[in-house]
Amino acid sequence: MARKSILENFRAVISPVRQYSTKRKVPDKTRFTATSGTYPEGFIVSGTHVGVKKDPTAFDLALIFSEKPCSAAAVFTQNAFKAAPVQVSQRILKNTSGSGITGVVANSGCANAVTGQRGMEDAWSMSAALDRSVLGTGSQSNEGKALVMSTGVIGQNLPIDKIVNGVPKGVAAGGKSHEDWMNAAKAICTTDTFPKLMSKEFTVNGKSYRVAGLAKGAGMIHPNMATLLGLFATDAPVAPTALGSILTYAVERSFNSISVDGDMSTNDTIAALANGAAGGDLIDVGTDGYEILKSEITSFSESLAQLVVRDGEGATKFVTINVEDAESFEDAKKVASTIATSSLVKTALYGEDANWGRITCAIGYSDVPVNPLKTSVSFVPADGSEELKLLVNGEPENVDEERASQILTSEDLIIHVQLGTGGGHSARFWTCDLSHDYVTINGDYRS
């Protein structure tokens, strides 16, 4: 009788939790899939299945190569366990000074990370395979000029023969259409719920250029580049030094300003290719077009990085964190990052609970100069309606809980923080909530 009573009491307690766990539905994210695009001249792309993934209908090899050699630049993970493709791509860029790059070869389904000497040899084989197929040069043992990316399970070796044999078929299947670019975006997906592809046309000093970008990532996402992959390709003529400088600046304000779960991957790589196929004057540091191109690439990079957050594993919210009046950009970004990675903040967002005390707590342990007596926090609705002030100059507001709940039911939300230091510097950061589905997805990732 006692055991039954205990069980009944347990069920009475756990039942509301079970009901709560099914309360928040993950929104349909496929609406963010590009249906058309404007793509840079001179690039050929493909996405094919070679057998890295078990599903024969799933693309797992992406190729992006140019009809003429490219300038190239990249930023990489700072994880100590850098995957073999990261190390190989770093070596290629060092050896070539970012000039004469063939393109990029990328696989999904296996990260080729923590795989020892064999992993390094496999990554070099992938690079050489694209060189050989596109240029008619290269061998299994040489150091090619194609950058390499891999994503998937860590600690497993690639089925390298399938990849190497599949590269010529991928080259033959390549094209320039929207479908070709979309297939390449699909081929780097793992737990992504939609392929992340963007493109746009822009003007530099009266000359029109195009840029396309694709990315993958939904989990193991946290900034500090320098299993998230990204690639930009433009037909603008850009010197390697300028391209590297622009990419570093843009990534710091985009892909290095997002977080899904606080885990930094072994494979993070963001690369940029510029083939100059559209003609025009060379854009270099100090030329008239440099600042214009930097602005265009930065805004484009922000938009592409936001797609990664929107596709966060199990995420139901897309949250922009604006931090203002810090003593430096770095301080503002650190505060925003601390809020974005707080499990208590993220779970409150999932529960649609206006527990703003968790935000101030995160601000307080961010280890940057803050004036608690002048700090302000508010929720800003995505629909443009009036912000809901939560804390003003260190004094808590009489919060309208009903309106707070209404704001938090929206998929998009802005958290606005004023640090009150008088420094005047600001930063933006993008994150998502932390849901039951995130645990489910990552609890059986390898099964």
Write out the catalytic residue numbers.
227
105 strand-pairing partners: 63, 148
The token pair at 172 is 């033959």
The token pair at 379 is 């929720």
- The span from the CA of 15 to the CA of 20, in Å, is 9
**Closest Cα to residue 111, out of 46, 190, 180?**
190
Q: Answer for the pair 393, 373: CB distance below 8 angstroms, yes or no.
A: yes
Identify the sign of the CA torsion 243, 430, 266, 183.
negative
For the chain, the maximum distance between any two Cα atoms, rounded to a whole number of angstroms, is: 86
The token pair at 114 is 């923590």
Site of tokens 């603008």: 236
Q: What's 25's DSSP letter?
A: P
Contacts of 419 (CB under 8 A, 6+ apart): 323, 324, 325, 326, 331, 332, 335, 363, 369, 370, 371, 374, 375
Q: Answer for the pair 255, 301: CB distance below 8 angstroms, yes or no.
A: yes
Q: Answer for the pair 66, 275: CB distance below 8 angstroms, yes or no.
A: yes
The token pair at 190 is 């793992």
